[in-house]
Chain A
Amino acid sequence: MQRRSIAFWLGAVVFLAAMLAMTQLVRNEYPFFAGYVILQFVVLAVAWTILGGYAGYVNFGTNAFFGVGVYTAVLLVKAFGAPLPVQIATAAVVGSLLGLGVGLLTLRMRGIFFSIATIALAIIIETSITNFRFVGGAAGIQLQRPPVTAPFDSYVKMLFFVQALLVVIAVAITRGIQNSRIGRGLHALRDDELAAECTGVPTLRLKLLACVISGALMAAAGAPAAMYLQYANPDSAFNLNYSVSVLAMALIGGTAHWIGPVLGAILLGATQQLLAVTISSEVNVLVLGVMLVLFVVAAPKGVIGLVQRQPKRRGGSK
Chain B
Amino acid sequence: MTVPAAPDAPLLRIDALTKSFGGFVALNDVSVQVRKGERFGLIGPNGSGKTTLVHCISGALRPNKGAVIFGGEDVTPLPPNQRSRRGIARSFQIPRPFRSMTVLENLMVALDFAAGRETLESTAHRREAAMSILARIGLAAKAESPTATLTQVELRKMELARAMATGPKLLISDEAMAGLSTSEVDEVLDLLMSLGGDDIAIIMIEHIMQAVMRFSQRVMCLDAGRIIAIGPPAEVMANARVQEAYLGT
Q: Which residues of A contact B (CB under 8 A)?
A: 181, 184-185, 187-188, 190-192, 194-204, 256, 313-317
Contacts and interface: CB of A to CB of B under 8 A. Distances in A.
A195 B93 CA distance: 12
Given A315-B104, A315-B130, A192 B113 contact: no
B109 interface: yes
Given A200-B166, A256-B100, A313-B146, 11 more contacts: A185-B112, A185-B113, A196-B81, A197-B81, A198-B59, A200-B81, A200-B114, A313-B105, A314-B144, A315-B108, A316-B123
Given A184-B112, A204-B79, A198 B100 contact: no
B109 A199 contact: yes
11 contacts: A184-B105, A195-B96, A197-B60, A197-B80, A199-B84, A199-B109, A200-B115, A256-B100, A313-B102, A313-B146, A314-B102
Contact of A184 (B81, B109, B165): B109
Nearest to A179: B123
Given A195-B92, A197-B60, A200-B110, A313 B81 contact: no
A316 B84 contact: no
B85 interface: yes
B90 interface: yes
Contact of B101 (A191, A198, A204): A191
A314 B144 CA distance: 7
B99 A191 contact: yes
Contacts of B102: 313-315
Interface residues of B, number: 38
Contacts of A315: 102, 104-105, 108, 123, 127, 130, 143
B108 A184 contact: yes
Nearest to B108: A315
A200 to B, nearest CB: 4
B80 A187 contact: no
A317 B123 contact: yes
Contacts of B163: 199
Given A184-B108, A192-B98, A315-B104, A198 B113 contact: no
B127 A203 contact: no
Given A181-B112, A188-B98, A313-B146, A198 B104 contact: no
B162 interface: yes
A191 B98 CA distance: 5
A184 B107 CA distance: 11
A181 B123 CA distance: 10
A190 B108 CA distance: 16
**Of listed A190, A203, A315, residue having the most chain B CB within 10 A:** A315
B100 A191 contact: yes
Interface string B54-91: 00001110000000000000000001111011000110
- A-B pairs, top 9 by smallest CB distance, nearest first, are A197-B80, A181-B112, A200-B84, A195-B96, A191-B98, A200-B113, A188-B109, A315-B104, A202-B81
Given A313-B101, A316-B123, A197 B85 contact: no
A198 B90 contact: yes
Contact of B162 (A184, A185, A199, A316): A199
Nearest to B110: A199
A300 to B, nearest CB: 13
A315 B78 CA distance: 30
A191 B97 CA distance: 8
A317 B112 CA distance: 13
B190 to A, nearest CB: 24
B85 A200 contact: yes
A198 B98 contact: no
A195 B165 CA distance: 13
A103 to B, nearest CB: 16
Contacts of A187: 98, 100-101
A132 to B, nearest CB: 39
**Of listed B80, B89, B90, B166, residue having the most chain A CB within 10 A:** B80
